[in-house]
Structure 1
Amino acid sequence: MRFIGRRGVVMLFLMVAFAAGVAVPPAHADNKRLNESVFVNIYTAQKQNGCPTEPELDGRLVELARLHTLDVLNNRALNGDIGSDGSTPQDRANRSGFVGKVSETVAINPALAISGIEILGQWWWNPAYQATMKDCGNTSIGVWSENSLDRSVVVAVYGQPG
């Protein structure tokens, strides 16, 4: 019998595991860079609109974005701002104790990953989303993204503190 080498053994193991139905644990990516780039794109949209105040990351809104991202990722019937419990972005903000007006943009890609270009493609050409991104009153921002094997979700929550 011919020696198959280390790569061959790994490939053989993966084929046997797949054939046996053994679950291979998913890799968890750190989306920090993607989230930061989405924030920079929002900042750029506001600057191009002549906004005098720079938006800032708000931990409360990051948490709201995180929770809605997970809700949309895990509930395939969701495809926008409404949560699985019927809540709106404003409902969720009110429950979290954020005082002020909020809005939200959601990007969904039916794939393992999503790029900044794909996010902008979904948000910039949607008139309501573009207006939200460019709104000078949105001075508090929260961004989060998550991925599964067949779905990537990015949520940005925009706040106008009251």
Structure 2
Amino acid sequence: MTPTMTTRRRALILSSLLAVAAGTVAMPTAHADNKRLNSSVFGNIYTAQKQNGCPTDPRLDGRLVDAAQRQTLDLLNNHDINGDIGTDGSTPQDRAQAAGFAGQVAETVAINQSLAINGIDILGQWWWDPPSRAAMQDCSHTAIGVWSENSLDRSVVVAVYGTPA
């Protein structure tokens, strides 16, 4: 073999090995921990209720967090829906009851067509929308659930507000 053939052959073998290795090595995926964002959204709801003179502090309710998570994931993965009704026809009340919450609920949804969403984006969507602001400030909503998720082209935050039975 000539030196050029050996170099070419080595390059071909090396590129083949790299292609095989690239196909078998898992590429890292980003998974955001939105705990801080969710806590911030809850804090904004708490503040909105306090500004409205609510005498009782709202509390996080795991059942409503589950209901919020269900709708958040549905909205994140189904771009043809943008509100309270799930792809299965479920309402916020249906999802809360399925999670074990017996009281009445309301829901707010914030969606950005981007990788990220922040508290300013969320408040901008909820504070200036009269029904959303009313849900945030309703003193009977003492049980709260918040969930958020992100994908490359969509970020979703859902808050579920409950009046315990």
Shorter-normalised TM-score: what interval? 0.7 to 0.9
1:83 partnered with 2:93: no
TM-score by length of 2: 0.83
Give, in angstroms, the shift of residue 93 of structure 1: 1.5
Identify the match of residue 118 of structure 1 among 79, 103, 121.
121
Note the residue ranges of structure 1 that are not aligned, 5 or more in a row.
Answer: 1-16
Give, in angstroms, the shift of residue 99 of structure 1: 0.8
1:131 partnered with 2:137: no
In 1: Cα distance, 2:53 partner to 2:99 partner: 31
The CA RMSD over aligned residues, in Å, is 1.9
How many residues align? The count is: 145
Give, in angstroms, the shift of residue 24 of structure 1: 4.7
* 1:92-107 equivalence runs, <5 A: 92-107=95-110
In 2: Cα distance, 1:47 partner to 1:30 partner: 28
- Is the radius of gyration larger for structure 1 or structure 2? 2
Note the residue ranges of structure 2 that are not aligned, 5 or more in a row.
Answer: 1-18
* 1:1-162 equivalence runs, <5 A: 24-162=27-165
TM-score by length of 1: 0.85
In 2: Cα distance, 1:57 partner to 1:143 partner: 8
1:103-147 superposed Cα distances (whole Å, 9 cap, x missing partner): 100000000000100000000011000000000000000000000
1:19-56 superposed Cα distances (whole Å, 9 cap, x missing partner): x9xx9543001000000000000000000000000000
In 2: Cα distance, 1:135 partner to 1:141 partner: 11
